[in-house]
């Protein structure tokens, strides 16, 4: 089914097609200059001293926890309202994710509840900039510094997100971005770890390629290399990186289009009864710079049982929507089977999972599309009332 207004759609142009063809015509498909060029370009956009390209955001987060030596008996604070990958990256090491509920206004981790969740086993703190709305990273740093915690920022939806003017990913010990097709930019699959810590960046580079001490291109004599650590194959290929180089160039224009679409859609939704925009106090002129991933609306109580109907009717009218995320992570079957999480503890995350509807504002759409989205939603809600 192809929608007139899809929720997300990668924007791939002639530039991407040309560079991919160039890479495919050459001899180097991995371990080449494109990955380095993409790392440099992305680091430049974020303002990061170090950037390491990896095969996905999940891979990057797993690398970070693995590099800390986390294992059974360790705990990591993880927001309940996030993509399951944020928790899986912890669980893959054998460590235990300890979930913390969301703030109702933004969907971000409730900073007031973190300290109650800490134990002597807590090693790290993961935060997610939910739908690109920045977490108050000054407060995160205070908690982390007080308790000696390593901070991982899941920046999968945070290209362009800033707190106090500093890009997401640079407040924590490391940040990890995703280039999956419906994120701000895409490489088909891909991710990027950014950090201010040069030693950590070196360690991630080593572990993303088997723990082998010399990259392929640095081996003067074939077969002369040493394996100095246990590691993965979490590299990004030259084909993916070449797409990334072109996408980073387009990122400022993509963000501009998103912010414009968001503004138009927000204005057009004002008089629709039964909905409220989930964005907190994050207007212009504050410390919070949004990445405008989507516009998330919370349905009023009487509309919540009708959400599936609303989604279907929107889709029938050609408008794609999404739900971020369908469950608080501890409510997913897999995590339920791991331990008996006390679900009422994640009531705010559950309210967002069960009661919100995400509307598209991506750069594949324009102001006319925003008017159609608002008009369609208005008619559907009117039909229900
Ligand atoms: C998409 C997403 C991920 C997963 O990214 P991959 O690159 O597909 O591994 C992780 N966290 C959040 C918040 C996401 O939205």
161-208 per-position pLDDT tens digit: 999 999 999 999 999 999 999 999 999 999 999 999 999 999 999 999
Mutate to test the pocket of ligand 1, among 178, 183, 322, 332 (most ligand atoms within 8 A of CB): 178
Pocket test for ligand 1, best of 59, 155, 180, 358 (most atoms within 8 A of CB): 180
**Helix-helix angle 57-67:84-91, to 10 degrees:** 30
Calculate mean pLDDT across residues 313-337: 97
Residue written as token pair 């008619």: 379
What pLDDT shows up at residue 385? 73
pLDDT band at 281 (very low <50, low <70, confident <90, very high): low
Ligand 1 centroid–CA 84 distance in Å is 8
Show the 3-state SS of the chain. CCCCECCCCCCCCHHHHHHHHHHHHCCCCCCCHHHHHHHHHHHHHHCCCEEEEECCHHHHHHHHHHHCCCCCCCEEEEECCCCHHHHHHHHCCCCEEEEECECCCCCCECHHHHHHHCCCCEEEEEEECHHHCCCCHHHHHHHHHHHCCEEEEECCCCCCCEECCEECCCCCCEEEEECCCCCCCCCCCCEEEEECCHHHHHHHHHHCECCECCCHHHCCCCCCCCECCCCCECCCCHHHHHHHHHHHHHHHHHHHHHHHHHHHHHHHHCCCCCEEECCCCCCCCCCEECCCCEEEEEECCCCHHHHHHHHHHHHHCCECCECCCCCCHHHCHHHHHHCCCCHHHHHHHHHHHHHEEEEECCCCCCHHHHHHHHHHHHHHHHHHC
Determine whether the shortest distance from the Cβ of 56 to ligand 1 is under 6 A: yes
Tell me the C-alpha distance between 104 and 327, whole Å: 15
Confidence band of 8 (pLDDT split at 50, 70, 90): very high
Any ligand 1 atom below 6 A from CB of 85:
yes
Q: Which pair of structure tokens corresponds to residue 262?
A: 């968001």
Residue 2: which pLDDT band, with cuts at 50, 70 and 90?
A: confident
Residue pair 19/243 in contact (Cβ under 8 Å)? The answer is: yes
pLDDT digits (tens, 9 = 90+) for 10-26: 999 999 999 999 999 99
Nearest to 352 by CA among 310, 296, 290: 296
Per-residue pLDDT at 282: 56
| Lowest mean per-residue pLDDT among 4-13, 58-67, 222-231 | 222-231
CB of 122 closer than 6 angstroms to any ligand 1 atom: no
Which residue lies with its CA nearest to atom 5 of ligand 1? 57
Looking at residue 44, its pLDDT comes to 98
| Residues 29-58: tens digit of each pLDDT | 999 999 999 999 999 999 999 999 999 999
What's the CA-to-centroid distance between 231 and ligand 1, angstroms?
A: 21
Distance CA 39, CA 55 (A): 13
Residue 151's pLDDT is 98
Q: Does the CB atom of residue 178 touch ligand 1 within 6 A? A: yes
With a 6 Å cutoff on the Cβ, whether 82 touches ligand 1 is yes
Confidence grade of residue 279 (pLDDT, cut at 50, 70, 90)? confident
Ligand 1 lined by 154 (C-beta under 6 Å): yes
Q: Is the pLDDT of residue 217 over 90?
A: no
**Which ligand 1 atom lies nearest to the CA of residue 190?**
7
pLDDT of residue 1: 58
Question: What atom in ligand 1 is closest to the CA of residue 178?
Answer: 7
Rg (CA), the chain: 21
């Amino acid at each position: 089914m192809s929608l007139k207004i899809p929720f997300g759609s990668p924007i791939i142009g002639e530039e991407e097609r040309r560079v991919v063809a160039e890479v495919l015509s050459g001899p180097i498909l991995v371990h080449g200059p494109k990955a380095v060029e993409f790392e440099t370009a992305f680091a430049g956009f974020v303002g990061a001293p170090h950037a390491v390209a990896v095969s996905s955001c999940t891979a990057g987060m797993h690398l970070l926890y693995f590099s800390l030596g986390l294992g059974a008996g360790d705990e990591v604070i993880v927001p309940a309202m996030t993509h399951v990958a944020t928790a899986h990256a912890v669980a893959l090491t054998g460590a235990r994710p300890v979930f913390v509920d969301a703030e109702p206004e933004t969907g971000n981790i409730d900073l007031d509840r973190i300290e109650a969740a800490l134990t002597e086993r807590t090693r790290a703190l993961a935060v997610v900039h939910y739908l690109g709305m920045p977490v108050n990273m000054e407060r995160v740093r205070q908690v982390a510094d007080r308790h000696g915690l390593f901070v991982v920022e899941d920046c999968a939806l945070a290209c362009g997100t800033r707190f106090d003017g500093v890009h997401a990913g640079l407040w924590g010990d490391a940040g990890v971005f995703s280039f999956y097709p419906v994120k701000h930019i895409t490489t088909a699959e891909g991710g990027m770890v950014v950090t201010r810590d040069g030693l950590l960046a070196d360690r991630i580079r080593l572990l993303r390629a088997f723990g082998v001490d010399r990259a392929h291109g640095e081996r003067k004599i074939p077969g002369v290399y040493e394996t100095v650590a246990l590691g993965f194959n979490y590299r990004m290929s030259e084909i993916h990186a070449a797409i990334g180089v072109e996408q980073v160039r387009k990122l400022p224009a993509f963000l501009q289009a998103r912010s414009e679409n968001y503004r138009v859609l927000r204005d057009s939704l004002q008089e629709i009864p039964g909905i409220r925009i989930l964005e907190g106090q994050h207007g212009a002129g504050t410390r919070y710079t949004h990445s405008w991933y989507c516009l998330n609306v919370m349905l009023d109580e009487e509309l919540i049982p009708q959400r599936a109907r609303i989604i279907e009717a929107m889709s029938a009218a050609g408008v794609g929507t999404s739900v971020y995320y369908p469950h608080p992570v501890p409510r997913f079957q897999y995590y339920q089977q791991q331990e008996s999480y006390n679900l009422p503890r994640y009531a705010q995350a559950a309210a967002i999972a069960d009661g919100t509807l995400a509307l598209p504002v991506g750069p594949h759409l324009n102001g006319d599309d925003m008017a159609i989205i608002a008009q369609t939603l208005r008619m559907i809600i009117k039909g229900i009332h």
